């Protein structure tokens, strides 16, 4: 009877074979406004992919595709976005190896991780 926004988008993202393809296609779309590089989509209150592995020097971009604002905040506060409304993005360049847990400070059950490898 009711239709939740983005229901269709979630169904797509849940198809295992499609997940990676979706990631890279959304990065391409974001290139117009955001730096090239891996992209984390915020969709249906989920960071996708939940964990991402990159090499030092990589710029990761988060894009909010929900109708509700979100933030991207490192657990250790080493990076922190302003509030991201629908279709807004945030980028951060990782210059040191390590594991960076992060969350949405509005909806802290939303968590993700960036693993930064040396070289």
Least Å from the CB of residue 77 to another protein? 11
List of residues contacting another protein (CB under 8 A): 2-7, 10, 44-46, 66-69, 71, 75, 82-83, 85-86, 101-103, 105-109, 111
Asked whether the beta carbons of 66 and 42 are under 8 A apart, the reply is: yes
Least Å from the CB of residue 81 to another protein? 11
Least Å from the CB of residue 64 to another protein? 11
**Rounded-to-integer distance, Cα 94 and Cα 116, Å:** 7
Instruction: Rank residues 56 and 111 by Cβ distance to another protein and give the closer one.
Output: 111
**Rounded-to-integer distance, Cα 74 and Cα 97, Å:** 15
Residues 6+ apart with CB under 8 A from 96: 56, 116
46's enclosing H/E stretch is strand 46-48
Instruction: Rank residues 48 and 61 by Cβ distance to another protein and give the closer one.
Output: 48
Instruction: Rank residues 14 and 21 by Cβ distance to another protein and give the closer one.
Output: 14
């Amino acid at each position: 009877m009711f239709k939740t926004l983005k229901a269709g988008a979630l169904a797509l993202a849940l198809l295992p074979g499609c997940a990676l393809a979706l990631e890279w296609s959304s990065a391409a779309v974001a290139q117009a406004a955001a730096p090239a590089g891996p992209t984390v989509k915020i969709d249906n209150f989920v960071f996708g992919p939940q964990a991402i592995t990159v090499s030092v020097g990589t710029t990761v971009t988060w894009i909010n595709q929900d109708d509700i604002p979100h933030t991207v905040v490192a657990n250790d506060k080493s990076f922190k976005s302003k509030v991201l409304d629908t279709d807004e993005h945030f980028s951060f360049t990782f210059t040191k190896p390590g594991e960076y847990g992060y969350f949405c400070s509005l909806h802290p059950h939303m968590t993700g991780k960036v693993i930064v490898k040396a070289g």
